[in-house]
Chains A and B, each alone.
Chain A
């Protein structure tokens, strides 16, 4: 007889009545076709250990009872299919007190919801039947589909660090569901601002874990409410005002302290026998603060025989304006940029900063549509995506890469990984470098706390989140923390500095350029 395949489940156990602290117990569960994590829990409870406590009810992803941490990420036990080749660690949801084993007390989460007047507010009942158009209700309907599983709340890095100050994504979703309900007369925006509307780093974790309903809380609820906050002069925060003013007066989010990158380079960087032609969009930080990062991008492109246009008159992508709700300045800049690029006549725009690139990919088209402008006629690419998928991994110039015998750990920028779905490409490029010792850590995709205007607006919170990230990355004792984002880059440089560490922070293209140049980084 064929031996039945078994899957290992390591489960956190804790009974506060008798245990001092949680322990882990491993169970082996026979695998069956299309088995779910809930099936495995049932198997354990029914056959191996009836003291195991876990919660479930509908078993079909409709009630939100069964959310637990599955290999570190919140998810529904009933909707997670077991992969027989994997091992599983099951833990209770974070950010909640434990009742027993995998069962948490959702009370604190519910109580925070209850404080937000989470019900329709109107002064008098309307005549029946009441007419509501499909368009009017569509946003509220999407937000109302939440099953209160609290996965997003448990996964949110801002909730973990801001604690009492931030009511979390589920609460923002709740407030937005009423704000966007044409019938509601309550002021939800004020309440959102005092409940931590500006604590969100835009990391996108809340959407990623909302397997049950695919609710994009960051975009629909938080950025929607932030736009209203700005309209009603309750936002953005003081720390953001500077950026917005700066954009208004100069077109850039930061002021000029040293010669801009665009001044250091010609209009076009020629190469022999070019294989392709792109425009390099540096974004404000690379253009005005970390110019060397931009020079390295250009070098990598040059080494790969790509002819590069340098846009002398580009302006800010206004990611910061979109993220904090300052929509009007955003529209102006988008139109300026797209008109200018059309004049330059390029087909491909490549950038390193994922904040810029995801804004170009996801927000610009909406603005152009709103303003009755034609869609832009170029294709935007993240630099890693461009090198691996567009230029082609096969064609990539590997022969000139020289050994870099250093230990590197990678940090996934949220705007690259979750917002553009790019996580393999940077890793592929890293692994190309001869003799590099690349370590992939489990929480590589945890937010660094820089995004969403939090670095500028909520400095302390931002640093706290960065500190957690630094601990995760530095644990493997790397020489270099690699990333691919100008914003994560400066955030990580700061946290490394404040930790008195000599770990270097570099972008993927910085490492590639160093390898091409044969530099020693030790």
Chain B
């Protein structure tokens, strides 16, 4: 077998907020930097972030401090956060926001001309910097401009299949070039994993299609440790239709402006769950209440409940919810006259690759940043902290990896391992008859949604695990792609993604089974309360002798002490 080898000094997998920021930091050196992305530069999931990016600039509330940002972050995270990382996050966030301005970003302004900051859930002060309702887009298009300015080498539509290692260090990444179908190898002494989240593991999600979690899977396969994989955030309101956009975020603002939730019988059901706060109860509680209504048969035919603002004065809707109004109008729903249909939706992976203060992993040469990295957010993520973490740790990853690459020995490839990887990648394409990746993928998403979603319990999680393990066996030996042309073969890429997703799902489920309490976003109906005595600890997943091993490790606490300690 022959394959093209492309040499570079720092290889970055992923061109979202984190990957692009890393590339900029790496490019401060005279090393050769390459970014690969399975979508197109400027189109990563980061563009979808609307709300904002947290930095304690204290532009509106002069009492805000990094310290308080850190406390808010840890308290939202149920104190599972690695506080070393939190300290870095809150201290660097203001600098990274100013970097973005230096690169050309324009944030909304206060009347005095400073960066505007909005209040966001569970934060003491107004801290979330924003650019209208398209903050993530402003961030990513600014970074795109800076990448173009620096003439950084970006390769679009390349799918990374595995991290390549040799003698306990990373030596590169194997890929399929989506546009040609060619198998290639990028050889690099340092690799930064910035492949984003995994919302698409679930049937209903706010995430872009790219977010299948390959970053976690690649790390796991290479023996890298991952942390907090049971912590997955669900958002209470995602649009139920049209099917292709099922799960798309409907902002909290809709309820903030007075929107009410109704089941199919027109009952304002929140009065049964939380008569005091009603629709304004906490995210998790509203999400679970909606899910219960749907589970118990009181949902609409689209497996949803109604979110209604049509009784509000038209003017209020037009002035305060213009984006929502327009988004729904585009799909033929006029929220001034009819209710929206909403469902809880899978939103964010708090867990991920375990990193230290330099974003280094336990595999020499491998760094990680962005949603793919874990530890910063603990058990739940503050709105606005993901973009901030992407910038902060992206920058650190870029400089750490560059420093490592400039002194590292040149990497040598393990040909045998690459041959095996090639066989694995080609397997489903070469098989004539067998299981359809498209159908298998949908089944997995459904099982995860039903058994390992908002509500978890021993029985469901075990059922999910049986499904996953059963399918891992079948799928690796029986998957057959019907489409045989290698050029832009989405079905084939889906097959490779499915293999990654099964691994990620297994990490989610095994970690969730282990944590026998409810903490952060992880909710067990069979262990519904916090158990600080036994479970104030992080769960770490890794591959040992071909098996998935789970261990607990003490939480890193520096300055923000949990109330019970």
Contacts and interface: CB of A to CB of B under 8 A. Distances in A.
Interface of A: 15-18, 32-36, 38-39, 42, 45-46, 50-51, 53-54, 56-65, 78-79, 81, 99-101, 103, 105-106, 110, 113-114, 117-120, 125, 128-134, 137, 140-141, 144-148, 181, 211
Chain B at the A interface: SS class: loop
B106 A181 contact: yes
Contacts of B432: none
Given A34-B333, A131-B114, A132-B109, A119 B149 contact: yes
Interface in B296-334: 327, 330-333
Contacts of A110: 41
A53 B490 contact: yes
Given A45-B438, A119-B149, A140 B244 contact: no
Nearest to A142: B132
B137 interface: yes
Nearest to B481: A50
The interface size bin for chain B is 35 or more
B248 interface: yes
B242 A39 contact: yes
Q: Which of A35, A100, A119, A181 has the most CB of B within 10 A?
A: A119
A59 B145 contact: no
A110 B436 CA distance: 36
B485 A145 contact: no
A81 B330 contact: yes
A58 B211 CA distance: 10
Interface in B32-56: 39-45, 47-48
16 contacts: A18-B485, A45-B438, A50-B436, A57-B43, A58-B48, A59-B208, A62-B47, A65-B39, A79-B331, A100-B485, A118-B148, A137-B109, A141-B131, A144-B141, A145-B134, A147-B47
A181 B107 CA distance: 12
A81 B131 contact: no
A60 B245 contact: yes
A106 B111 CA distance: 40
Given A62-B47, A129-B57, A57 B137 contact: no
Contacts of A16: 487
Q: Which of A15, A59, A101, A105 has the most CB of B within 10 A?
A: A59
B513 interface: no
A63 B438 CA distance: 24
Contacts of B469: none
A60 B43 CA distance: 12
A384 B543 CA distance: 75
A98 to B, nearest CB: 10
A35 B243 contact: yes
Nearest to B154: A110
Contacts of A63: 39, 43-44, 47-48, 208
B471 to A, nearest CB: 18
Interface stretch (B95-103, B349-357, B416-424): B95-103
B80 interface: no
B327 A114 contact: no
B48 A120 contact: no
B488 A103 contact: yes
A255 to B, nearest CB: 47
Top 6 closest A-B pairs, CB basis?
Answer: A120-B104, A131-B113, A119-B149, A119-B145, A100-B488, A63-B43
A79 B330 contact: yes
B115 interface: yes
B179 A99 contact: yes
B210 interface: yes
Contact of B137 (A15, A35, A130, A145): A145
A507 to B, nearest CB: 36
Given A50-B438, A58-B209, 8 more contacts: A34-B241, A34-B331, A56-B209, A61-B327, A62-B134, A62-B137, A63-B43, A65-B40
Q: Which of A15, A18, A64, A144 has the most CB of B within 10 A?
A: A144
A15 B146 CA distance: 34
B48 A62 contact: yes
A309 to B, nearest CB: 41
B482 interface: yes
Q: Which of A33, A51, A100, A133 has the most CB of B within 10 A?
A: A51
Q: Which of B44, B47, B244, B488 has the most CB of A within 10 A?
A: B244
Nearest to A130: B101
B112 interface: yes
A53 B149 contact: no
B103 A120 contact: yes
A355 to B, nearest CB: 31
Contact of B106 (A34, A51, A79, A141): A141
B488 A99 contact: yes
B371 interface: no
B48 A60 contact: yes
A78 B59 CA distance: 38
Given A65-B40, A65-B43, A34 B109 contact: no
A61 B330 contact: yes
Contact of B248 (A56, A60, A64, A113): A60
Contact of B148 (A45, A99, A119): A119
B491 interface: yes
Interface string B121-164: 00000000001101001100100011011000000000000000
B459 interface: no
A27 B5 CA distance: 41
Nearest to A81: B332
Contacts of B243: 32, 35, 39, 42
Contacts of B488: 53, 99-101, 103
B477 interface: no
A125 B145 contact: no
Contacts of B179: 99, 105
A231 B489 CA distance: 52
B330 A58 contact: no
A120 B245 contact: no
A50 B40 CA distance: 22
Contacts of B44: 57, 63
B483 interface: yes
Interface string B209-242: 1100000000000000000000000000000011
Nearest to B436: A50
B245 A132 contact: no
A348 to B, nearest CB: 31
Contact of A141 (B42, B132, B145): B132
A31 to B, nearest CB: 12
Contacts of A132: 106, 109, 113
